[in-house]
Structure 1
Amino acid sequence: MATFPHSSAPLKTVQEIQFGLFSPDEIKSMSVCHIEYAETMDEQRHRPREKGLNDPKLGTIDRSQMCATCGESQQECPGHFGHIELAVPVFHVGFITKIKKILESVCHNCGKLLEDESNPLFKRAVGLRDPKRRFEAVTRLCKPKTTCDLDAKNEDEQDEFGGNPKKEKPPGHGGCGNIQPTIRKEQLKLNGTWKLGKNEDGEDNGVEKKVITPQEVLRVFGLISEDDLLRLGLNVDYARPEWMVLTVLPVPPPAVRPSISVDGTSQGMRSEDDLTYKLSDIIRANSNVRRAEQEGSPQHITDEFTSLLQYHVATYMDNDIAGLPKSIQKSGRPLKAIRARLKSKEGRLRGNLMGKRVDFSARTVITGDPNLDLDQVGCPRSTARILTFPERVTLYNIHKLQELVRNGPNEHPGAKHIIREDGSRIDLRYHKRAGEIQLQLGWIVERHIVDGDYIIFNRQPSLHKESMMGHRVKVMPYSTFRLNLSVTSPYNADFDGDEMNMHVPQGHETRAEVANLCAVPHNIVSPQKNGPLMGIVQDTMAGIWMMTRRDTMMDYEQVMNILMWVPGWDGVIPTPAILKPTPRWTGKQIISLGLPLGLNIFRKSKEGDIPLLESEEPCLIQNGELVWGRFTKKLVGASGGGVVHYIFNDRGPDATVEFFNAAQRICCYWLLHHGFSVGIGDTVPDADMVTKIGEQVVKFKAQVDEYMKNVQIDEMEAAPGMTVRETFESKTKAALDNARNGAGDVAYKGMNTCNNVGTMVKSGSKGSTTNVSQMTASVGQQSLEGKRLPFGFKDRVLPHFPKDDYSPASRGFVENSYLRGLTPQEFFFHAMGGREGLIDTAVKTAETGYIQRRLVKALEEIMIKYDGTVRNSLGDILQFTYGEDGLDATYIEAQDLEIITSSHEAFEKMYKIDVISPSSKDQTLTSTYLEVANELSGDVEVQQLFDEEFEAIKHDRAKIRHNLDDADDRRFLPLNVGRMIANARNKFKINDNSKSDLDPREVIPKVRALLDRLKIIRGDDELSKEADLNATLLCKALFRSRLAFKRLVKEDKLSKLALDNILGDIENRFLRALVSPGEMVGVLAAQSIGEPATQMTLNTFHLAGVTAKTTTKGVPRLKEILNVADNIKTPNMRVYQLPEARAAQESAKLLRSKVEFTSLRGVTDAAEIYYDPDIE
């Protein structure tokens, strides 16, 4: 939207970036001014001083002045560099270690490298291609050399009388024989130590120490030849070593170091930036050095001034040098040097370029509102008056926008600004006759946001993409954002004071993207878990469970009122379930009003038959009507394979949102009249229950006493891999956990059917059996690091107990429930356990946040390209098809592929057809369910089709069984064909008594043709065909087996119309399930690991363990995997004994001790490496 003024700078596309060091000549040629004075202002003339730090040639930061170099105003002038000529060279603080390494590698007298090709290691080091690695390798080899080698002349080289003259030797080093110093870096100085060799008597002459000055370094670096520079890994054109010593210092323009006016006017006092102060220090120190040299001051005074100059130049660039005092302001605040401005999270790059603060955003507290749609957000009216959207005036909206302009900026809905075609803005707050402005076509009106505008809503920490989603605005009174309860789970939000952010897109393209890609309906199902992220929660969950209970009846008045709340009600009142004496409707009928037509779900009970009593799981929904069963968290919560998932996959995002809205409104209204509240009475056990709970606790405490007795008389056997004490602890902990769980079970099972806590737990809306047991029965064993509480005092946990007491009560077992109240010592134990949880959470947040950042940084560039491959930003292929099947994880659901596990008999019974000589009644087709059955019997061609079909399914089965190692028939596949068939049967009114009019001569080729068309990798060459075969193997096996002729006819009784409908649907939805090009799968993968990692506990501890050596789990294990740790904390391996020694304990112990000390060398016979450079 911004209109940029004309720029006088020549513009070109950036081709490449070359990093390097500035040479003094380059600094001077780029500079517009030589800075000589430390002052910024000319006090007499009240303007910036010429040749001072704010010289007008450097550019201006004052609106009233023009730049003296380019003649532009403050808005356009980018600023120009100046320079300071240093009186003496100084080290560049960033390169001191590099300078030291180079000085250790070359001779200080002749500039040659200290090593040469006669050393094979040096030859290999010079051959390294990467300059950085070459530099490291060469300097490492040269460092130990103490002299610059001369050419060794061989005495008998010119042996005239020798029969064979010597072969030509490789050329010598050709050095000068000088002794090389060992160099130490001390803060900003380099100190050299020379060993002076031995005198005539063979005694050491001692050592000579002196400072290696920057002038000396410059001299040495000037001697190095270009060949040696290249061998060192330095760039001759862009990074000569002598440029690491500064002789000229560039001065950045005032735009980089702006001064601020103290009183807000351009005339008053100005407060300068840290860098300006630092530069003036440098100029003063520089002139002191120059004066000392001109006046011929003593050496120690000149050296002092020089080291001060070195200090100022160093701290100007980096004020965090270890061992150096920080440069500070008068106030004692350390100066912010150039390095501190660039590095770290708050620096220029990460803080101001990769992420920045934005306009058009709002933030406030969130509150729940069950009457908003799932994808709406209630926005305070005060916010809506501040945030605007730029709308262009057209013929179609001119009257509407004129009305908004008339309302002005303070009345909602109104407008804040008008932008004319020439780019000038009218601010309606300050315009005298704002309401009378006549809008012209093509102008832009910045109007308030109104109902239906799309915005982005976000809650930090944004751990996955569902933490930022598109919502529709609903402007409301009061000052908080309102949102639907079901949308809180992806944001991980609750209403205990959380705040959220809203961002208003500023263009139609952005709005379209938010509405079609980020909007809540499109994110209901997540690719991370192949299932929905949102489900029905809280009171709606408890309400829907109570409504779908048997015997929940509603009278005429209630039903009429509820119908008013059903969104999109079609005006048809369902027939009452009971007509006499008064009409009554069941809760199931009313809930069915919220289910979309055409939804079919059948969940069998575990026994497989229709249950007589309403147990938790099974349910039947036919054509959007709940026939029997009860809605629980598993069915309508955020779980894969539930109602929400099925509606999303079969009916699309909008129908899913409709279901949420309807369920919430119906349930909330019904609950309002039915009532639901939880009180302390729901947690109080009756007398009988109290006795039973006491019995449970006593029983397990007696068990612990038994264990203690066994230990004391030394009768307890140590469990495998544990000491006796560990065994005792493990058994005790298990017994005490059982005590809590047993008591909890008694409490849970003894609850009345109308107990409200029980209702919440059973429906899945809140709480668990553990919560019930802790409230009513017993809080249970408190633990630290997965063990019972350790002795903190001498031989006891608290001073309330005798020493060496291992009984449950003294080691952290809390017998009381929260209802009865804890004793002081129990309270103390409980606090210890709770404290550990708090510390864990605090530590974990930082660790998982860093893990996620590293993951995202490693994978952020990886995306799906338009040819279906997964590539990084350099175009390297990582996968030829995404996830090896090319499908979007959102459209995948867990399905049963029965052919894997079925027996041969069952397999043949289900798929084999024999119309010529059937061996059993199952293999024939009869006219009871197939119209053309009699016509087909004895037809050889038809039989051939059946055989081909059967063989294809059999081949699939064999191939899958060969490739898969687990005998599980649950597979994650796209398109639930079984449900599609059920929907088609419903649509075409087919029941179990229907007769099928299918003909195998049409059906089998049709299905085959469809499967041939379903391609993920297109191409006719052999490689493409094989890749496509691998990618589609499982889903085609599913389609082929589910669309087998015998099943279509016998199980499904399909008609031709229904089958055509199903085949068309399959093709259509298969294409939709392919992953979209442009999907950033790298970030998606990183977020899908990082987000669950924050939910992990930091150190997951084994419950009373199986073995003493527990494996590392949770965040520490994740860190080991991601850091590719060489030494993992708890390495383990499973070693199998031979069948005959399967149960022998002694040989197992022996085997363990042997394996522990077996190295790879002990089991390898020989290892050889074959290297063939010419592989042709």
Structure 2
Amino acid sequence: MSYRLQLEHSSAPMRRVKHVQFGIFPPDELKRMSVAEIEFPELRDEDGKPKIGGLLDPRMGTIDRNIKCHTCGENMSMCPGHFGHITLAKPVFHIGFITKVKKVLECVCWECGKLKADYNNPEFQKIMKTPDATRRMARVWDYCKTRTTCEKPANDDENGVPDASRANGVLGKNPAPNSVDGLIGTFKPKPGCGAKQPTFRKTGWTIYVKARTTASDEVPSEREEVTVDRVLQTLKKISDEDAETIGIDPYYARPEWMLLHVMPVPPMAVRPSIQMSATNACEDDLTHKLNDILKSNARLQSCVVEGAPAHVTSKFVELLQFHTTTFMNNELAGLPQAMQKNGRPIKSIRARLKGKEGRLRGNLMGKRVDFSARTVITGDPNISIDQVGVPRSIARNLTYPETVTPYNIDKLQEYVRNGPTEHPGAKFVIRNTGERIDLRYNKTSGDFPLQIGYHVERHLMDDDVIIFNRQPSLHKMSMMGHRVKVMPYSTFRLNLSVTSPYNADFDGDEMNLHVPQSEETRAEIKEICMVPRQIISPQSNKPVMGIVQDTLCAIRKFTKRDTLLSVDMVMTLMMWLPDWDGSIPTPCILKPKPLWSGKQIFSMIIPKGTNCKRHHSTHPDNESTWISPGDTLVYIDNGELVCGIVCKKTVGAAGGGLIHTIFNEFGSETARHFFDGTQRVINNWFQHYGFSVGIGDTVADDATMENVGTIINESFERVDNYIKEAETDKLKREPGMTIKETFEYHVNNDLNRARDDAGKKVQTRLKETNNVRQMVDAGSKGSYINVSQMTACVGQQNVEGKRIPFGFKYRTLPHFAKDDYSPESKGF
């Protein structure tokens, strides 16, 4: 919240970031950046204070509210922390770069550091023209790793430049100055030394070198471990030009910087101590690891100073290598893990960054937040599409900080008087000084006088705007702005039409609610994020929400020619339209008593001036008459439904439909009123009218069932014929298939055709009054395939496009005989 921030703004001018350049810290720059060289493993001095030069050095920042940072002079909350450094007695491999180091060593001469490449080779010239450095490195490595000698040119001029390389250089006459071509064109490769090149092998944090053997060698050479000092010697010899050719920019990353000479020590903010008592503190895993590095480095330093034998020194180098490696990555395959005293593996830097719980995915990409709520959702067609029903218990717990002004002081004083337990009330008052008063413990809250400029953290109330979200958040409509409607009971209430963009249903889904904490955020949500503004998706340029479920099924019945309403029903329904002006149209039937059609009442919900032409889902393609005999041509003229039965094609989430037209012509608020009015009026009529699906809706008449039985029996006979033909070798093999594949192909096609024919026969005989068919025609639920499967037969079940294979020994289930290829056995 803006009023809580005490930070001063920087006086530095604003700049637009053009690009980010990654590089490797050179050792000398690490030392320059460092505020302290860490030399002592001891954390505190005799007085129990952080030791200067130790791992808790106060120059690196403070985590104690009583101590100021010795570098920037700030307190615990304002000091960002400062890096220190440890100078290593001998360089070691950086576990993050060791694979790259091996690749670079395979690209250059082991003795002189020159790139093992023939610049006159057309293949290498082609590689040099690769503009992307990463891909160039891969190609150069692929070319160089197989070369066995560092070739010494035969005809060198006095500068060591091959004669031909200038004439047929890689680039021709005038290379571009900033391109890869330009770089190579201006560079004169130095001559090689002619040395034979060894092979390299990496295991864990060790690189082994082995001399190449030839047919004339009597004894094959042994592989030996290479020291980091020896690797450093070769990497230092690599010229900047060769480094750039390999794909390494020497300005940002010299090859020798990939080895660890100087170890950066992260500040205390990265590895805070946990104070157990006045005298006892529990240190972070990284601090323990740095302690081990300091101790092993001190022993190695004394070995170097005293001139200890090589095998003794190498043991301490290996120990230092182990500690620096496990500091960065403690999960290397095939290598021992560093453990705490209790046997728990130490959490390295890599473990902090990677994975779902890591810094990136766990903290930066998304995080647990305050002022949020989560509970189960249930549907409520009587609230507006841009409302969300919030349980009263949640509304009492979530707050919004409202500033006291002359216009709202009386209202806020009333909330403060109600206190934190009574809704609408308040939980906190924040004075101008920033002091927070918790009204739970303020016995005289009824007499607490507010002043202009105070902030009252009041309960969530009706028409507060919030962000509502359902995970996974796959598109921008997964987070939309809603108005709060405080309601009883313990679930969020959501309008059914809004479930489509959230991909929500009411089988136990939970959703998140976020309360904005400033006027700016509320304004942005109101103007940008509210549900009515998201009705049309910019992705597909059509509505993402429409009329669904009960309302969609009901609207089809409501707009049929034979739906007529009496005056008392019309008045009852009109009470559900909030902006009804009290007038009703002339009834379409006057005698024997006035009756209004469903089309007339639906026209009262459509905004005046709306024009739309659509077709019902059952509209015949070849119909071209002005008046549709089946009333399947939907025609809306100036907001009047002239003819047609309304279904999903008209009021669903369809491009060019009624909702799309209203949104484009009249805007988001009018579209919202249409959604709300349609659902309230149609659903209340549906409650009086009634609708149910029974088992009778899935049973066809006797004649239809006889036809279905005939179709299936004929198909079974054809399958029996295929089985006989296959058994007697009379089945003709299809091109590119075996006999078995041909048999399965014909049988599967025949059974699928039987299912389709039986389904079509049922569809044509379904009555108009069949309730399942009514749902299918309206588009609210189901399809004709479901109808035919319920009524006629489920049909052939396929697995990966084939009939169910034998899973047991020569049969699909133990209930069938072995080698039974009949339709029932194979899943019909």
TM-score (structure 2 length as normaliser): 0.87
Deviations 1:427-448 (A, max 9, x none): 4344444444443434433332
Whichever residue aligns with residue 388 of structure 2, its letter is V
User: Which of residues 193, 205, 217 is equivalent to 1:188?
Assistant: 205
Higher relative contact order (CA 8 A, sep 6+): 2
2:98 partner amino acid: I
State the distance in 2 between where 1:418 and 1:51 align.
47
Change (3 A) 1:17 1:487: closer
Q: Of the candidates 82, 85, 98, which is equivalent to residue 83 of structure 1?
A: 85
Q: Residue by residue, what CA displacement relative to the aligned partner does 1:747-779 show, whole Å, maximum 9, x if unpaired?
A: 445445444333323322212222222223322
Aligned to 1:52: 54
Counterpart for residue 275 of structure 1: 286
State the partner residue of 2:417: 406
Judged with a 3 Å threshold, the aligned counterparts in structure 2 of structure 1 residues 754 and 9 are, in CA distance, closer, same or farther, namely: closer
For residue 202 of structure 2, what is the amino acid of its counterpart? K
Counterpart position of 1:592: 603
1:464 to 431, 450, 475: 475
Amino acid across the alignment from 1:799 = P
Greater displacement, 454-463 / 743-752: 743-752
Give the superposition deviation at 1:218: 2.5
Counterpart position of 1:481: 492
Counterpart of 1:259 in structure 2 is: 273
Question: Does the residue aligned with 2:319 lie in a helix, a strand or coil?
Answer: helix
Instruction: Provide the secondary structure at the position in 2 that maps to 1:471.
Output: strand
Aligned 8 A contact 1:197 1:205 in 2: no
1:445-504 Cα distance to aligned partner (Å, 9 max, x none): 333222112222111122222222221111111111101111111211110000111222
In the alignment, what sits opposite 1:71? 73
Q: Which moved more, 1:232-241 or 1:10-19?
A: 10-19
List per-residue Cα deviations over 1:626-652 (Å, max 9, x = no partner): 333222222222223332222223333
Match of 2:783 in 1: 768
- Give the alignment partner of residue 26 of structure 2, picking from 23, 35, 59: 23
Deviation of residue 608 (structure 1)?
Answer: 1.8
SS in 1 for 2:381: coil
Secondary structure at 2:211 match in 1 = strand
The aligned residue for residue 807 of structure 1 is: 822
Query: How large is the Cα RMSD of the aligned pairs?
Result: 3.4
CA distance in 2, matches of 1:691, 1:105: 81
- The aligned runs of 1:921-940 (5 Å cut-off) are none
- Residue 730 and residue 570 in structure 1: after superposition, are their counterparts in 2 closer, same or farther (change >3 A)? farther
1:792 aligned to 2:807?
A: yes
**Structure 1 position 268, deviation (Å):** 6.3
Question: CA distance change for structure 1 residues 569 and 272 in 2, over 3 Å: closer, same or farther?
Answer: same
Q: Distance in 1 between matches of 2:699 and 2:126?
A: 81
Give 1:366 deviation, angstroms. Answer: 0.4
Give me the whole-angstrom Cα distance separating, in 1, the residues matched to 2:102 and 2:573. Answer: 83
Deviation sequence 1:275-321 (CA, Å, 0-9, x none): 12221222222233334455665543432222121011112112233
Residue 6 of structure 2 aligns with which residue? Answer: 5
Q: Which amino acid aligns with 1:187?
A: G
Change (3 A) 1:223 1:660: closer
Shift of 1:10: 8.3
Distance 1:409 1:106, change over 3 A: same
Asked if the contact 1:151–1:173 (Cα under 8 Å) also holds between the matched residues in 2, the reply is: no
SS of equivalent residue, structure 2 residue 650: helix
SS at match of 1:597: coil
Q: Which SS does the other structure have where 2:64 is aligned?
A: coil
347, 351, 356: which one pairs with 1:340? 351
Write out per-residue CA displacement over residues 1072-1108 of structure 1, whole angstroms, 9 at most, x where no aligned residue: xxxxxxxxxxxxxxxxxxxxxxxxxxxxxxxxxxxxx
Q: How does 1:234-633 map to 2 (within 5 A)?
A: 234-262=248-276, 267=278, 269-293=280-304, 298-344=309-355, 346-603=357-614, 606-611=622-627, 613-615=629-631, 617-633=632-648
| Structure 1 residues 598 and 20, CA gap change in structure 2 (3 angstroms) | closer
Cross-structure match for 2:178: none
In structure 1, give the amino acid aligned to 2:272.
P
Q: Which structure's residues are more often helix, by fraction?
A: 1
Alpha-carbon shift at residue 364 of structure 1 (Å): 1.0
Contact 2:700 2:762 in 1 (8 A): yes
Change (3 A) 1:767 1:235: closer
Whether the 8 Å CA contact 1:149–1:173 is kept in 2: the answer is no
Partner of 2:181 in structure 1?
none
Tell me the secondary structure at the aligned position of residue 472 of structure 1.
strand
CA distance in 2, matches of 1:456, 1:566: 27
Q: State TM-score, norm by structure 1.
A: 0.62
1:621, 1:609 → 2: CA distance?
17
After superposition, the C-alpha distances for 1:232-282 in whole angstroms (9 at most, x for unaligned) are 4444443223322222211111101123345xxx53643332212221222
Distance 1:759 1:229, change over 3 A: closer
450-459 or 362-371, which moves further after superposition? 450-459
Distance 1:766 1:420 in 2: 57
* 1:842-881 superposed matches below 5 A: none
Looking at structure 1, the residues matched to 719 and 660 of structure 2 have their Cα atoms a distance apart, in angstroms, of: 48
Aligned with 2:485: secondary structure?
Answer: strand
Spell out, residue by residue over 1:364-423, the C-alpha distance to the aligned partner (whole angstroms, 9 max, x if none).
110000111121111112222232333333333333333333333332222333344454
Given residue 328 of structure 2, which amino acid in structure 1 is its aligned partner?
M
Structure 2 distance, partners of 1:640, 1:168, is 68
Aligned twin of 1:974: none
1:726 is displaced (CA, Å) by: 4.1
**Partner SS state of residue 99, structure 2:** helix
Asked if 1:649 is matched to 2:664, the reply is: yes
2:120·2:164 contact (CA, 8 Å) conserved in 1? no
Task: Output the CA distance in 1 between the equivalents of 2:538 and 2:190.
Answer: 65
Change (3 A) 1:397 1:618: same
* Range with greater deviation from structure 2 (369-378 or 624-633): 624-633
Any conservation in 1 of the 2:377–2:509 contact (CA below 8 Å)? yes
* Residues 41 and 54 in structure 1, CA contact (< 8 A), matched pair in contact too: yes
| % identity of equivalent residues | 55
Using the alignment, how far apart are the partners of 2:114 and 2:569 within structure 1? 99
The separation in 1 between residues aligned to 2:131 and 2:582, in whole angstroms, is 78
Distance in 1 separating the partners of 2:379 and 2:573: 21
Contact kept, 8 Å, 1:183 with 1:193, in 2: the verdict is yes
For residue 424 of structure 2, what is the amino acid of its counterpart?
P
- Equivalent position of 1:833 in the other structure: none
Are residues 1:214 and 2:228 paired?
Answer: yes
* Partners of 1:722 and 1:650 in 2: CA distance: 59
Partner of 2:653: 638
The separation in 2 between residues aligned to 1:743 and 1:65, in whole angstroms, is: 85
**How far apart are residue 525 of structure 1 and its match?**
2.4
Cα distance, 1:59 vs structure 2: 1.7
CA contact (8 A) 2:41 2:54 kept: yes
Matched to 2:227, the amino acid is T
Would the alpha carbon gap of residues 559 and 805 (structure 1) be closer, same or farther in structure 2, given more than 3 Å must change? same
| Inter-partner Cα distance in structure 2 for 1:169 and 1:708 | 77
CA distance in 2, matches of 1:133, 1:103: 18
Counterpart Cα distance in 2 of 1:347 and 1:740 = 53
Unaligned runs of 5+ in 2: 167-187
- Secondary structure (helix, strand or coil) at the match of 2:268 reads coil
Distance 1:809 1:235, change over 3 A: closer
Distance in 1, matches of 2:741 and 2:139, equals 52
Structure-2 change in CA distance of 1:129 and 1:631 (3 Å) = closer
Number of the residue aligned with 1:679: 694
Q: 1:906 maps to which residue?
A: none
Give, in whole Å, the separation in 1 of the partners of 2:224 and 2:673. 84
Between the aligned partners of 1:91 and 1:182, the Cα distance in structure 2 is: 19
**Aligned 1:1006-1155 pairs, distance under 5 A:** none
Q: In 2, distance between residues paired with 1:682 and 1:114?
A: 82
1:341 aligned counterpart, secondary structure: helix
Q: 1:1108 is matched with which residue?
A: none
